[in-house]
């Protein structure tokens, strides 16, 4: 049976609530495998999320008072990876899809390809870096990826920097990587495309890569 994809836009949602809602949707899909895959767009208020990698919490640089002054929360999460930042100006994407081939690495590679193609549409040449997570422009990271899977259904996902406050990344060693910096679409191109256009392109590329639909 051909799998369908539903698009959901949560707008702004608290990170903890977004995690709970993803789990609920994942459980529903497990109960009904024939239900549509989901592609969720959202945005979070400032939060540092700490993944399951050993030592991830040690890459938090700011103390509790500084975090309070800057209005940034901390949330430990069950996705893979290290510590990263979510905040206004990012496009956060959570795919909840059934991995029929049970190949998590292939899923990750497809997700990377989607992001690279989306950025290329807006004249940004990006790529992966050997041994590093995420999507990069030379040594500047523009998109963080942290995925998880349960019963071979994906959740968590990615955060593409459109125009976030990059100063907030000073509070962490992003993803534990010391030999690179963080960038955004706003820093790389002008004029900055509307977020609506970026979302629309993401859907096109996601469907093309994951469902082999013609563009």
Q: Helix or strand or coil: residue 9?
A: strand
CA distance 172 to 107: 27
The string of pLDDT tens digits covering residues 105-136 is 999 999 999 999 999 999 999 999 998 889 99
Task: Give a yes or no: residue 119 inside a domain.
Answer: yes
Domain span including residue 113: 5-210
- In this structure, is residue 215 part of a structural domain? no
> The pTM is what?
0.92
Q: What is the CATH number of the domain that holds 28?
A: 3.30.930.10
As for how many domains the chain has, the answer is: 1
Residue 35 CA to residue 98 CA, distance in Å, equals 10
Note the pLDDT tens digit of each residue in 17-67. 999 999 999 999 999 999 999 999 999 999 999 887 777 788 889 999 999
Q: What crossing angle do the helices spanning 104-121 and 195-211 adopt, rounded to 10°?
A: 140
| Phi, psi for 28 (deg, rounded to 5) | -65, -40
At residue 132, the pLDDT reads: 87
| pLDDT, tens digit, 9 for 90 and up, residues 144-163 | 999 999 999 999 999 999 99
CA atoms within 13 A on the CB side of 3: 17
Active-site amino acid positions: 175
């Amino acid at each position: 049976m051909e799998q369908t994809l539903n698009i959901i836009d949560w707008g702004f949602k608290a990170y903890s609530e977004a995690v709970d809602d993803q789990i609920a949707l994942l459980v529903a899909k497990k109960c009904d495998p024939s239900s549509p895959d989901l592609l969720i767009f959202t945005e979070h208020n400032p939060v540092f999320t700490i993944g399951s990698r050993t030592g991830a919490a040690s890459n938090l640089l700011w103390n509790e008072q500084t975090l309070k002054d800057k209005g940034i929360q901390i949330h430990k999460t069950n996705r893979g990876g290290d510590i990263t930042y979510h905040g206004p100006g990012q496009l956060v994407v959570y795919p909840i899809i059934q991995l029929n081939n049970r190949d998590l690495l292939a899923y990750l590679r497809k997700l990377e390809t989607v992001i690279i193609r989306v950025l290329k549409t807006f004249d940004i040449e990006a790529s992966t870096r050997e041994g590093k997570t995420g999507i990069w422009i030379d040594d500047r990271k523009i998109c963080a990826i942290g995925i998880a899977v349960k019963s071979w259904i994906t959740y968590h996902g990615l955060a593409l920097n459109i125009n976030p406050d990059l100063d907030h990344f000073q509070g962490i060693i992003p993803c534990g990587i010391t030999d690179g910096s963080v960038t955004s679409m706003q820093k790389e191109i002008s004029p900055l495309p509307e977020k609506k256009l970026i979302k629309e392109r993401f859907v096109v590329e996601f469907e093309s890569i994951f469902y082999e639909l013609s563009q």
